[in-house]
Structure 1
Amino acid sequence: MKKIIAVTSCPTGIAHTYMASESLEEAAKKMDVDIKVETQGSVGVENELSDQDIKDADAVIIAADTNVSKDRFGGKYIVEVAVADAIDDAESLINRAIEGSEKGETSDVDSNLYSQVDEEKSKRKEKRQGPYKHLMTGVSFMLPFVVAGGLAIALSFVFGINAAEQEGTLAAALMQIGGSSAFALMVPILAGYIAFSIADRPGIAPGMIGGMLASNLGAGFLGGIIAGFLAGYLTQWLKENIKLPKNLQGLMPVLVLPFLSSLIVGLLMIYLIGPPVEGIMNGLESWLNSMTGTNAVLLGLILGAMMAFDMGGPVNKAAYTFGVGLLGSQIYEPMAAIMAAGMTPPLGLALATTLFKNRFNRQEIEAGKPAWFMGISFITEGAIPFAAADPIRVIPSIMTGSAITGALSMLFGVGLKAPHGGIFVLPIPNVVTNLGFYALAIIVGTVITALMLRVLKPKLAE
């Protein structure tokens, strides 16, 4: 029996979402096709598709008039139509999905480094549950704002480090786009989508309002994280405990939940949470700004080792989130150490597979070639396939190289104003302070990683 999965969603998330779902289910029953339909309605996601559902499916139908992410359906044949098409002619959609999946059955499975990285990231995603999952949802939605804003700010420095202070200039406009707009949205977006991950759509408004209050009160990204979790769990609790008559249920997601949760979260942020968190953030910023010598090196060492420890996993993301959060406070040194240390693992492995071929099998040597590009692009996950094959030797090697890179970056006082981009943002004037020493830190870490692999990995038989 063929298995189809589907997602239905309309802008209001009320009538058409569920009508399309019902139409697909009835048509599938008539055609003897197994189907599971996820609805993304006004109350959030219902009948959510699991990773196993997606894995077992032959094809996917997306009947939506809203933006539905297709990332999780990689490798599947997708039929994407308006929600009305599923209501009007569900049978033809199911036939299209089945025919498309049958035509694609003979395609080869890509086994290069990129597909191995995607597979490992999918496995990690399956394990993410609870608060970590919610935090990473917030971070993933925040990152485009941070990257776009950071690059806009970086471009403003092309005209001079203080050029943005002159009103009416292009530099001032770029700074307004990046600093006054994109970075101003960073904490509210983080908080809003943490709350969204917990309580679906009703959590977005209280989460973003709490995040904006955190920014305005000086509580920074730490206050935003607290506001996001508070708004999410509070909204979810209200959703489960407030019971309205059936004819008034439509008021819950658009009126009752956002209003009550925003009111409670806002008052708590202003009177209870904001002031002490502001004190913590001010203390952290003062400590980081005054950090020199041994303390700076130690921080770089720790951040560097964290970036390599799990190559895109929870520890890596914790270090990266820490660096990104400090950009809003104009503290740029940790971000420099973090990006350099994140580039080093794939670069070190690529160098090792080039210089010490007798330590690697043919597949690993081939995987080393794209690892060069992943390294210079700040995609730490490029090291995952090597670490998965030989964790005992590879992980200590890349952690050593990244820790030394992070320590050297902090020792040299390197600052980085762009939160991503690898070497491609380094040529922009004034984005990196002490560019020569920054390149030296990355090179040293790369070479040390390769030499560690040379020492730890045994020769393979011819």
Structure 2
Amino acid sequence: MKNSRGTIFQQHLMTGISYMIPVVVSAGMLMGIGIMAGQSMGFDAWDGKLLQGTPNELQSFFAWMTQVAGAGMMGLMFPVFAAFLAYGIADKLALAPGFIGGLLAQKMGSGFLGAMLIGLLAGYSVKYLNEKIKIKRTFMPIKTLFIIPVATCVLVVVASRYVVGPIGQLFINAITSVINLVGQTGELAVAVVIGGAMAFDLGGPVNKTALALSMQLNTDAGISAWVPAMIGAVIPPIGIGLAVFIDKFVVRRSVFDDGLRTNGMSCFILGFMGISEGAIPFAIKDPLFMIPLNVVGSAVGAGISHIMGTYGTVGVPAAIWGWPLATNPLGWVVGVVVGSLIVCFGAIFRMNYLVKKKEKEEDVVANVVG
């Protein structure tokens, strides 16, 4: 019996995710090591001046590890995801258009949603052309090395430039307008929206917009917006990482597959380092549920910190060693704990529901075949 379209789509999606996970984890850990070294040695690993040369070679090395190696590798996340999503559909011929599509999704700010759409377009376009173009075996290399890769790369570039990119940018601009509008209202509303926006795309354009606005409001208007931003960034990875650890105790079974379970520990650690990208594979697997869940958890946590009067100057890091630097750090801790538990239990019960649903479908198929 053939798999449903939804099952096939999920299989393609998981192919892309499985190849992306090592990139995200390794990049995050490289940045984490550099940041931790900088904190312990009293310098900022994100300081671009350290890349231009410094008498302290060790500081220069850890800055290079953070900004060039770690952040540079993190920039490969969307190209790798889109390329191997396309690869799952149409094999090696789809790698080139998938890579260029993912790169353009990153450059044009359409995030992992744009990377997913362009990866699907690349994969199915290659599959269609490969099936429809008939050519003699003697000239097969022309088809596989020139016609299909070049044609689909051109298609992907056009679609990225005129469809996926503009739609993504329009969406980002709409979110940005909402954030800026709320920034002119009550401080609690600002904290909630900033926190939720930080968790929306986990390091993407909305996240960066919220971060920039939080810096401006914190510095220029004296509104406590920086701590909500820091809290919103760490709640999704901490909550999801925790879910992977305790799912067996909550629902008496493992509800995450081996790939996500392996990523859970690194996701948890990266969360405590202030790096939210570790949660992206989980968000991509079930975006219609996980993205709102992340946003709600982070918004609640950020709101709690504001109600409890937690304040931090711009530059206080989201990482665990930065929390004591804020006034009333208890509000920071309570906000993170509550928000993370919302994400944690939401993810567990959602995955448990999906696993049970899949088991019922398999039972129905088995009964029909039997």
Q: TM-score range by the shorter chain?
A: 0.5 to 0.7
C-alpha RMSD of matched pairs (Å): 4.7
After superposition, the C-alpha distances for 1:41-62 in whole angstroms (9 at most, x for unaligned) are xxxxxxxxx9xxxxxxxxxxxx
Answer yes or no: is the 8 Å Cα contact 2:19–2:84 preserved in 1: yes
**Structure 1 residues 241 and 300 mapped into 2: Cα distance closer, same or farther (>3 Å)?**
same
Please give the per-residue CA displacement for 1:27-76, whole angstroms capped at 9, x wherever unaligned.
xxxxxxxxxxxxxxxxxxxxxxx9xxxxxxxxxxxxxxxxxxxxxxxxxx
**Kept after mapping to 1: 8 A contact 2:233/2:298:** no
Q: Distance in 1 between matches of 2:16 and 2:99?
A: 11
SS at match of 1:342: helix
| 2: CA distance, partners of 1:224 / 1:432 | 38
Residue 161 (structure 2) aligns with: 270
Q: Unpaired runs of 5+ in structure 2? A: 54-59, 212-229, 254-261, 269-292, 311-317, 346-370
Q: How does 1:394-413 map to 2 (within 5 A)?
A: 406-411=298-303, 412=305
Match of 1:251 among 142, 152, 159: 142
Q: 1:296 Cα deviation (Å)?
A: 6.1
Aligned residues: 261
Output one character per residue of 1:157-206: Cα deviation in whole Å (capped at 9) or x when no partner.
33244652212323430211122x21221221121111111111111100
Relative to the length of structure 1, the TM-score reads 0.45
In structure 2, give the amino acid aligned to 1:218. Answer: G
1:340 is matched with which residue?
Answer: 238
Any stretches of 5+ residues in structure 1 without a counterpart? 1-49, 51-124, 304-318, 354-359, 365-372, 380-400, 415-424, 451-462
Distance 2:300 2:68 in 1: 33
Query: In structure 2, the residue corresponding to 1:250 is in which secondary structure?
Result: helix
Q: Percent identity?
A: 24
Where does residue 47 of structure 2 map in the other structure? 164
CA contact (8 A) 1:341 1:406 kept: no
Residues 1:216 and 2:107 are matched in the alignment: yes
- Could you tell me which of 120, 123, 132 is aligned with 1:229? 120
**Contact 1:210–1:227 (Cα < 8 Å) also in 2:** yes
| Aligned-partner residue type, residue 293 of structure 1 | L
Q: Distance in 1 between matches of 2:206 and 2:33?
A: 16
Higher strand share: 1
Change in Cα spacing, 1:374 to 1:437, as seen in structure 2 (3 Å) is: farther
Q: Give 2:31's aligned residue.
A: 153
1:269 and 1:165 map into 2 onto residues whose CA distance is: 31
Go from structure 1 to structure 2 and tell me whether the alpha carbon gap of 1:439 and 1:223 turns closer, same or farther (over 3 Å shift): same
3-state DSSP class of the match of 2:76? helix
Q: CA deviation at 1:243?
A: 0.7
1:187 to 60, 78, 85: 78
Residues in 2 aligned to 1:257 and 1:213: alpha-carbon distance in whole angstroms: 19
Matched residues in 2 for 1:261 and 1:142: separation? 22
Matches within 5 A, 1:28-47: none
Check the 8 A contact 1:141/1:190 in 2, yes or no: yes
Q: In the alignment, what sits opposite 1:203?
A: 94
Q: Which whole-Å CA distance do the structure 2 matches of 1:446 and 1:328 have between them?
A: 18
CA–CA distance in structure 1, aligned partners of residues 141 and 263 of structure 2: 48
Matched, 1:323 2:323: no
Within 5 Å, give how 1:412-431 maps onto structure 2.
412=305, 427=320, 429=321
| CA shift in 2, pair 1:155/1:375, >3 Å | closer
Which protein, 1 or 2, shows the higher relative CO under an 8 Å CA cutoff with sep ≥ 6? 2
Please, what TM-score do these two structures have when normalized by structure 2? 0.54
Instruction: State the distance in 1 between where 2:134 and 2:121 align.
Output: 21
Q: CA deviation at 1:151?
A: 2.7
Within the candidate set 434, 437, 440, 2:334 is matched to 440
**Is 1:142 aligned to residue 20 of structure 2?**
yes
Could you say which residue in structure 2 is the equivalent of 1:43?
none
CA distance in 1, matches of 2:152, 2:263: 43
- Distance across 2 between alignment mates of 1:193 and 1:430: 37
Change (3 A) 1:193 1:324: farther
Q: Which amino acid aligns with 1:277?
A: G
State the 1:241 CA deviation.
0.8
Query: 1:437-462: per-residue Cα shift (whole Å, max 9, x none)?
Result: 55434655799999xxxxxxxxxxxx
Q: CA deviation at 1:431?
A: 9.7
Give how far 1:153 is off.
2.6
Tell me if 1:178 matches 2:63. no
User: Over alpha carbons, which structure has the higher Rg?
Assistant: 1
1:63-115 CA distance string (max 9 Å, x none)? xxxxxxxxxxxxxxxxxxxxxxxxxxxxxxxxxxxxxxxxxxxxxxxxxxxxx
Asked if 2 retains the 8 angstrom alpha-carbon contact of 1:142 and 1:189, the reply is yes
Which residue identity lines up with residue 80 of structure 2 in the other structure?
I
More displaced stretch, 284-293 vs 141-150: 284-293
Deviations along 1:389-408, one digit per CA (max 9) or x if unpaired, are xxxxxxxxxxxx99996454
Output one character per residue of 1:341-370: Cα deviation in whole Å (capped at 9) or x when no partner: 2244466678x89xxxxxx9xx99xxxxxx
Mapped to 2, the partners of 1:288 and 1:333 lie a distance apart of 17
Please state how far the C-alpha of 1:242 moved relative to its aligned partner. Answer: 0.7
2:301 and 2:335 in contact (8 A); partners too: yes
* Residue in 2 that maps onto 1:384: none
Does structure 2 retain, via aligned residues, the 8 Å contact 1:135–1:194? yes
CA separation in 1, counterparts of 2:74 and 2:264? 26
Task: Give the alignment of 1:325-404 within 5 angstroms.
Answer: 325=204, 329=208, 334-345=232-243
Partner of 1:293: 188
Structure 2 partner of 1:74: none
SS in 2 for 1:131: helix
